Amino acid sequence: MIQIVHTSTYFPPDVETARILEKKTGIPEDVIIQKFGLYEKHVADSSTHASDMAINAALPILEKVNPLLIDVVIYFGSPYKDYGVWSSAPKIQHKLGAKNAYAFEIMNVSSCFPIALKVAKDMLTSDTTINQILLVGGCKESQIIDYQNPRSRFMFNFADGGASTLLSRDNGKFEILESSIYTDGSFHDDIRVPAGGSALPASHETVNKNLHFIDVKDPTDMKERLDPISVANFFKVVKESVEKSGYTLQDIDMLLPLHTKKSMFLQILDGLELSEEKAVYLDHYGHMSSLDPLVGLHLAETENRLKKGNIIVAVSAGTGYTWAATTLKKIKD
C-alpha cells in the first residue's frame, strides 16, 4: 500500500485582489469574483522563484521527517522556473538537505500532480530500495501574463505558491489508488510562450514584441474545439480512475480540481452529481499550474473536511491537452 504521509503548502505574502485585477484587466471586480471565481491570489516578488516556493513548501514536512531518509525528490511544478534549460530538482534536494536522495523533474504543465502521484506510486511499488519520495512543486505563473494581450489576459487567475507531499509505504493518511490519464495532442500548438525556445530564440525583437509571455494562438478556434470535449474528458478520467480503484462515482466524497472559471467548476460537479461542499474551489488562491489538487488536499485536510474511509479524487488538465485523475482513500484520521 503506497500512502501520502504529509502535505504542506507555501504562499508568498503579497496578494492581488479582484479589485486590483479589475484595474489590470478592465474586467469589473464583481465579474472576476462571480464569473471567474477569484477573490484574490498570491503573487511572488522578483526575488522569489518557483524553486524557492517549492523549498518553502517542503520545509514543514522536513520538521517531521529526517531529510537524510528521503530517497527521491521529484519536482512536478511549473515549467516557468528560475532559468531556462535548467533543472530545479538538484537545487531543491541540496537546499532541503536530502543528501541521500536523487532528484529529477517531471512536467506536464497543469495536469502533472495526478500524474506525479502515479509515477511516485509506481516507483515505490517496483523498487524496494525506495522507501520515501518527496514530491515538490512551485509556481510563479502570475508573472507570465501580458495584460495588454487580449488573447491571453483571461488567464489572470494564474497565481504563485508552493506545495509538497511525502509518499511512503506506511504511516500515511491517504492510500494512493488508481489513475487515469488522457491526452489529445491536437491541442499541442494552441497555448505556449512563443519565444525563448529553439523555434524562436530570444532576441531584441522577441522582447520588444512581448513574446516571452504566455499566448493563445487563436482563442476562438481553440474554444470551438475544446469546449465540446473538455468537461467530458474530466468526467472520463475521474470515472476511469474511480472504477479502476474499485469504486463508483457515487462513492466520491471529495473532488480536488484545478482552479477554473466558476461555470466550468459547477458543470463538472453537476456531471459528477456532487455538491459544492464535496469539492475544494481555490477562489482565494487562483490557478497554480500543477499544484492545485495538492493545495486542495492540504486545505481539505487542515480544515477537517475529510474523515476516515473517504474517497477523494485529484483531477486536473493541462495545455497540450492532457486530463488526469488519481483516486485516494483516507485511511487514518
If asked whether residues 92 and 72 sit together in one domain, one would say yes
- CATH code for the domain in which residue 114 is found: 3.40.47.10
Last residue of a domain, one of 120, 139, 173: 173
Q: What percent of the chain has pLDDT over 90?
A: 98
Last residue of a domain, one of 173, 205, 223: 173
Last residue of a domain, one of 158, 173, 188: 173
If asked whether residues 214 and 296 sit together in one domain, one would say yes
For residue 65, pLDDT over 90 is answered with: yes
pLDDT score at 333: 86
Confidence at 228, pLDDT banded by 50, 70, 90:
very high
If asked whether residues 222 and 321 sit together in one domain, one would say yes
If asked whether residues 41 and 165 sit together in one domain, one would say yes
If asked whether residues 162 and 181 sit together in one domain, one would say no
pTM beyond 0.85: the answer is yes
Q: Give tens-digit pLDDT for 112-141.
A: 999 999 999 999 999 999 999 999 999 999
pLDDT score at 68: 98
If asked whether residues 204 and 135 sit together in one domain, one would say no
Q: Give tens-digit pLDDT for 147-194.
A: 989 898 889 999 999 999 999 999 999 999 999 999 999 999 999 999
Number of structural domains, the chain?
2
pLDDT score at 153: 80
If asked whether residues 23 and 168 sit together in one domain, one would say yes
Domain that holds residue 86: 3-173
If asked whether residues 313 and 185 sit together in one domain, one would say yes
What is the three-state SS of the chain?
A: CCEEEEEEEECCCCEEEHHHHHHHHCCCHHHHHHCCCCCEEECCCCCCCHHHHHHHHHHHHHCCCCHHHCCEEEECCCCCCCCCCCCCHHHHHHHHCCCCCEEEECCECECHHHHHHHHHHHHHHHCCCCCEEEEEEEEEHHHHCCCCCCCCHHHCCECEEEEEEEEECCCCCEEEEEEEEEECHHHCCCEECCCCCCCCCCCHHHHHCCCCCCEECCHHHHHHHHHHHHHHHHHHHHHHHHHHCCCCHHHEEEEEECCCCHHHHHHHHHHCCCCHHHECCCCCCCECHHHHHHHHHHHHHHCCCCCCCCEEEEEEEECCCEEEEEEEEECCC
If asked whether residues 130 and 63 sit together in one domain, one would say yes
